[in-house]
């Protein structure tokens, strides 16, 4: 079967494009860095595909069931505790404000420059705020928080 690869910026990937890739996927990519531990028969970590249409499409869910991939059971409106989203938001804002790239190469250069200049204090603040963020999520019983 031949698949056509479209530029990421022109069209989103759909189930028909994603499914042929899945049988060749390496589900066991989650290994520890300790070679001694890698020899153990560890179960794969649970999968969180969110509500991304690629992961909820019938072909994807059939493939996940066939591979016995355990899904995380998250509530529909669970809070997002991933601090990297704040990093992406900040980077997008800085790139938009400082560069306004018009080509893929200029965008790539802008991303590299923004990442290189990214202030480590922001990263530290995001990481150090996680205990408070998690405590607030627990206090709100998984509901919305101010973060």
Q: In sequence order, what are the beta bridge partners of 47?
A: 71
**54 burial via Cβ count (<10 Å: 0-12, 13-18, 19+):** middle
Q: Quote the domain boundaries for residue 124.
A: 84-139
2 inside domain: no
Q: Which of 88, 89, 81 is nearest to 130 (CA)?
A: 81
Q: Which of 84, 130, 86, 134 is nearest to 142 (CA)?
A: 134
93 inside domain: yes
135 inside domain: yes
Q: In sequence order, what are the beta bridge partners of 71?
A: 47
Tell which of 36, 66, 96 closes a domain.
66
pLDDT per residue rounded down to tens, the chain (147 residues):
444 444 444 445 555 555 545 555 544 444 444 555 555 566 666 777 766 777 778 888 888 888 888 877 666 666 677 888 888 899 999 999 999 899 999 999 999 999 998 888 888 998 898 899 888 888 888 777 776
146 inside domain: no
* Domain total in the chain: 2
Residues 89 and 135 in one domain: yes
């Amino acid at each position: 079967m031949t698949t056509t690869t479209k530029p990421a910026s022109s069209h989103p990937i759909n189930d028909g494009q994603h499914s042929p890739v899945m049988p060749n996927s390496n589900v066991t990519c989650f290994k520890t860095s300790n070679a001694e531990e890698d020899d153990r028969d560890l179960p794969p970590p649970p999968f969180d595909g969110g509500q991304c249409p690629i992961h909820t499409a019938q072909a994807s869910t059939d493939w996940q069931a066939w591979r016995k991939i355990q899904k995380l059971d998250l509530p529909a409106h669970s809070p997002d505790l991933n601090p990297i989203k704040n990093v992406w938001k900040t980077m997008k804002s800085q790139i938009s404000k400082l560069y306004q790239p018009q080509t893929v190469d200029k965008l790539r250069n802008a991303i590299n420059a923004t990442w290189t200049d990214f202030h480590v204090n922001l990263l530290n603040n995001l990481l150090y705020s996680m205990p408070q963020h998690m405590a607030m999520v627990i206090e709100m019983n998984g509901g919305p928080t101010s973060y």
